[in-house]
Structure 1
Amino acid sequence: MKQLSNFDEIYQFLATRFGNEKEYLQAVHEVLHDIVPIYNANEQYKAFDVVRRLCLPERIIYFTISWSNSDGDVEVNQGWRVQHNSNMGPYKGGLRFHPSVNVSVLKFLAFEQCFKNALTGLPMGGGKGGSDFNPRGRSDRDIMLFCQAFMRELQRHIGANTDVPAGDINVGAREIGYLYGEYRRLNNKFEGVLTGKGLEFGGSYVRTEATGFGLVYFLDAVCAEHDTHIEGKTVVVSGAGNVALHAALKATQKGAKVISLSNSRGLLHNEAGLSESDINYAIEQHTASDNILRDMDSKKMGQWHENKTPWNLPCDIALPCATQNELHETDAEALIENGCTMVLEGANMPCTNKAQSLFSKHRITYVPGKASNAGGVALSGLEMSQNAMFSQRDPKLLDEELNDIMKHIHSLCVAEGKENGDDYINYMKGANIAAFRRLADAMVAQGI
């Protein structure tokens, strides 16, 4: 096959083969515009066909999970692990348990993970995995039984120096514990094959907080770059999971007024701003409640609005922290009209292509998740190093290192994202190019 050298040829090559994988094609589309000119300007990159090779996963593992639930009934689910690129290190990326999980979603997440991991500067490749299993409404025993069955299939494909999964949507500390326990029993090894583990068996301090805290540390750097501060800013946050709650907590601690949290069923709005104690209540109780935001309404911590999102609320900063493609073009229009000047992604690809284009057109500071939410995987990388040394580091030092990593990622984005003669910083372009250079150099160095 002839070498492909322009955006249309490369994208068409992928679209022809994977036309039904819309999330994956969206993620690739976002990156190609920025990296193809860099690719064409480097003869080695072209000779090694690094763009096409980088877009295609090295391996996709599919398996069926047949398991018996606590009532003795047989259930059947699908499972995948997308091992996208290992040139930078062991495959690294989360596991997601959700009915929406499919090959397209996991390929997009694994592709994005390669760029995100490259930006951290740590030796990690990119991967992602999960299952269409829905844990909502399940007993703790059912979740344990499913995790054990899932690991019985996955365990032959992972290892501390091969592929190191972590948590993602619906895979938290409890699920990681069940997964790790089954891996240890099957392999007779106590090794750093998963991150996000409990502190008692190889986990790291600050891991739970890392993605949300890291998002705000990146926001800190963005504000400093624009000669302003987080303190006093009105912030809207979407989501009510780990990332959203810890981002809201850290932003509040830094003096911002966080006025919203949300979930798939609606919005919690507090015009005066959620307090630290409000957010800590949500962090402590959210796994025990079917709808923690409605519970917070009943405790006068805010007003619950059914089937609403936060994007129509006046704000200075928006932090979408829920899920992919949650923020659409009309939402972007509302944010711009209501005075929003910065949008930083806490989730993976939460803004649609049209929303991103609108932010760029109106010169809104927009930061993609591959840069702004890299704190979670950065801390996972630090957990991997602790596991390799059989040690556990001080939480204060880890938090400082997380802050340093996020500031370093910001500096990379600024260096590659500043246009000549223009003070506007294209953070998407900066993140894509900075990560691509590291990935492409590693691919060239290791040959075909």
Structure 2
Amino acid sequence: MTKQVREVAVEVLLQIEKNQAYSNLLLNQTVNRTKLERRDIGLLTELVYGTIQRRDMLDFFLTPFVKKGLHTLEDWVRILLRLSVYQLAYLDRVPDRAVVHEAVNIAKKRGHKGISGMVNGVLRSIQREGLPTFETITDPIERLAIETSHPLWLVKRWVEQYGFEETTLICQSSLIPPSVTVRVNRIKATPEEVIEKLAHEDITARKGELSEDAIVIESGNVFETAVFKDGFVTVQDESSMLVGRALGALSGMSVLDACAAPGGKSTHIAEQMDNMGRLFSVDLHEHKVKLIVEQANRLGLSMIETKVSDSRKLDTIFEKETFDRILIDAPCSGFGVIRRKPDIKWAKREKDIDAIKRIQQEILTAVAPYLKKGGTLVYSTCTVDKDENEETVREFLTKHHDFVHDDTLQERLPEKVVASSRYQSGMVTILPHDFQSDGFFIAGFKKK
């Protein structure tokens, strides 16, 4: 069966590279379509994510062994070689000879005798001579980029923003596979009760490190449990859980979640409001708004009202100064979640950040008038880029004199976050290595 897994992995990686398909969505579709056994799903996931995550590093390993250069190879051949070297370098449980044998068979199937011979020759040479060392790269920033497999422009940008040591930690941490974390639906149970319920379904779990609502799954598939199906938990990273808390929405309030899909933060806010009050969840895409409805239904939350709309054009839906609380979980580069979505780092270009920043400003400016005087607005992103975060906040406050930093934000964040050197008045950055969670930015504003 594992033979098929590697062929499927080549197919998936090829689609991601050619069509800029999202790895997580494509993997789910592929798993549903191919009906792989469970142990094979685990291997497929590891092969696909691992190969994307370490792409440039694998190319560095391969380069000395491909005579005419990697760029001369057909896409599928290059991907097959990367996949094979990833297994040779990082997967102890697969014998080297099996990796080579499998690669040669796939090459025979997809290509001609010359290609399978070349694949065999390259992989056997690597087995014989060993992998090249990073010590040959003299420039430290370039070495860091290749050693941790990040685009050079991104590493340079982070070094400018955070310094070399911090950037090294950011890069290294995005190669560590993320934990599966779930948020407890407080309307239905406490974290302790949910951990006990999961234990009855053979799932080992413990309380989270950062969020009071978090449970970390240590073993077992939580998605197949009655606990999940009956709406006791929602999948969400611990950093992301802090956003709903930061908003401080209370029962009976009127709340807007302006960029709401797929609904993780909306449902969290509704849980904190005890499902009482008005919560409007707005998103641009109809298919994504359906995901919010599905989540709300599974969790038993009836207060969420969804709207399909561009948040920059809400004047046909709402009156000005309608809401006590507004959340803008803005579109962003996503550089805080590279360990979950490794293709992000290869899909984005530096020039994209300016375009994203412009959209962030437009949304903030368009949505701000809908907040009541004295109300709270929270702006959050899942990126660690300072231009999209601190700089966007600074620009917004410069242009909107009726808004100020919300210094009470610290009362709604965990002590360990506020105690970190990254907390400044009314805003905080969480880097992926701080708490082994996603990279995130949260800022709070008050309307005078």
Give the TM bin, normalised by the shorter chain: under 0.3
TM-score normalised over the length of structure 2: 0.28
Higher relative contact order (CA 8 A, sep 6+): 1
Normalized against structure 1, the TM-score is what? 0.28
Larger radius of gyration: 2
